[in-house]
Amino acid sequence: MRLDKLSSTFLLLGVCLIYCTAQSTDETVIVNTAEGALRGRILSTFTGLNFYGFQGVPYAQPPVGSLRFKAPQPLAPWEGVRDALMEEGACSQPGQSNEDCLYLNVYTPQLPNETNNSPLAVMVWIHGGLFTIGSSTVAMYGPDYLVEAGVILVSFTYRLGSLGYLHVDGTNVSPNVQLKDQVAVLRWVQRNIAQFGGDPDNVTLFGQSSGGVCVTYHILSPLSSGLFKRAIAQSGSAINPWALSTDPNERAFRLGQSLGYNGTDRQELVDFLRSVPVGDIIDHQSQIVTEEEYVRELVVLFVPSVESEVVDGEEVFLPDHPYTMLQKGEFNNVPLITGANSRETKRMTDVTDESGWEVVANDMERFVPIELPIQRHSKDSLAITAQIEELYFGNDTDLHDLLVDYINVESDIKFVRGCHRLSLKVQAQSSQPVFVYQYFYNGTLNLDYSLGTGIMTTGAGHGDELSYLFYQYMFNQTAEPGSTDEDVLIRMVSMWTGFAKTGQGCRERKKRNLNYDGIPLEWKPLSESDHYYLKIDTHLELLTDIEQEKMSLWESINTNYGNMW
């Protein structure tokens, strides 16, 4: 998975943080929270509907100095009224050095002091970006569609890369602080969202890509128990191969050595890393990828890890391997929507021509799951390679067909199989429904048309569903009235917000009104005997056994060659 391909999207955000924002009025409003009073603004959607925005709200102390690599610390209350009128900057990432970045935003269509309406459902958004880049800015994640549908949106920034996932056993580093930042947000919502017109007992956690992975980690974590009622994981699963580090200590020393630390003492390493300018850490964390990791496209090294030791009595987020916790049923029992897009990696690949294909063709063994306990070039590894090559590439010889085959196998390895496996494991142990989807729609709001893609092909790439859930001010475009794009947008918003409000799997709008309840369309959850999934395209279609032959191959590889989850 290429970080530079995803970065092309987020590099645009620097400009958009300045020029892209919801339309605002001069009117302000004050809300009291447990930490102090906040002054927000009255904003309006692109259609002219007024709502309230509170931006740049701190949810923890700035994680600077001795608090670098530490769990988020509670804020002291402030006196007077604090302005919450503008977004704060993204957390440290390539091109940006900003450790004071633990802030959230609240967008609500109503406040409790002006209406007798019931409290609103709340949707808490976790942005994606391979755990390493990204932001919650309205440039990419405008609240317009969601507030028009009658829900409250909470978005936020959290620590990224090694600042979010450094893990060194036997030291005062708190592992998984990115995930613990997110817990701090969920706790803030429980304390305060009623003051914004929201229902703390009706919170849906949703996210995409690494944000979707984080959602599934919160389903697993005892720290997140009781903090949300429902979950939506888009293109992300805790059992994706890139979503868990099995050797965090080695990676931490690799980072330290690249920055000039040559010792072996773990606490000395941590003290050294706390003294290094944050920009140097960001620059070096992407330069320590090994050749083998690069070939397998595991280019993001700082990701969640199991917390095998308790640090200074701190709370533990991930006490065991995700797959073990799923097997034992040790997770939060909440309704879940999960799924992936039909051609996730079509914009991530740099294999776009004959020379690129020749590199792949000469090393088909790259598709053997890196987490399998077998050696490269071994008899077992070559046997797996042959099975993958036969199923995904067959007898294709046309270059374009081969490149599309390559996208398909990469998409399944990196996204689909993990999402599929997680859905089955949760369903087997949970009393709550699990709804599965696959998103196919290739419309004019897709990122292909905004960013371009290396291989023009049908189907939806990574993140293509986002412009049908969020108004993206960075592209300043929405669906044409009466178009298929508008139909898909209305369906997506209504399904996601309908789930947040009621826990039902699907509620298709028949009118062009995002807050119209419409006629329910039954989206059946998984069962032991029927593996239903919703195909989301120009029309909705309920099918069974998503990519059955391909998923069966990965299951058989897992069974025959070792547990890879």
Active site residues: 209, 344
Residue 271, number of CB atoms within 10 A of its CB: 14
Q: Which two tokens stand for residue 420?
A: 């599929």
Q: Determine the Cα–Cα distance for residues 78 and 539; give it in Å rounded to an integer.
A: 51
CB 338, CB 215: distance < 8 Å: no
Query: For tokens 């919801």, what's the residue?
Result: 22
Question: What is the dihedral angle through the alpha carbons of 21, 485, 130, 362, rounded to the nearest 10 degrees?
Answer: -140
Q: Distance of CA 144 to CAs 234, 266, 465, Å?
A: 20, 47, 15
**What single DSSP character describes residue 142?**
B
Q: Which two three-digit tokens encode residue 207?
A: 């996210």
Extended beta strands in 378-501, E state: 434-439
Q: How far apart are the first and last CA of the chain?
A: 19
Closest CA to 547 of 343, 363, 353, 401: 343
Contacts of 18 (CB under 8 A, 6+ apart): none
Tokens of residue 233, six digits: 């994981």
* 106 φ/ψ angles, rounded to the nearest 5 degrees: -125, 125
**CA 207 vs CA 184, 215, 297, 512: distances in Å:** 16, 6, 23, 25
Contact call for residues 170 and 309 (beta carbons, < 8 A) = yes
Task: Report the distance separating Cα 377 and Cα 86, nearest Å.
Answer: 55
Residue 362 CA to residue 5 CA, distance in Å, equals: 23
Q: Is the dihedral of CA 380, 385, 391, 392 positive or negative?
A: positive
Query: How many CB atoms lie under 10 A from the CB of residue 351?
Result: 21
The dihedral of CA 504, 510, 513, 516: what is its sign? negative
Provide DSSP, 59-105.
-S----GGGTTSPPPPPPP-SSEEE-BSPPPPPSBTTB------EEE
> Cβ–Cβ contacts within 10 Å for residue 106, how many?
29
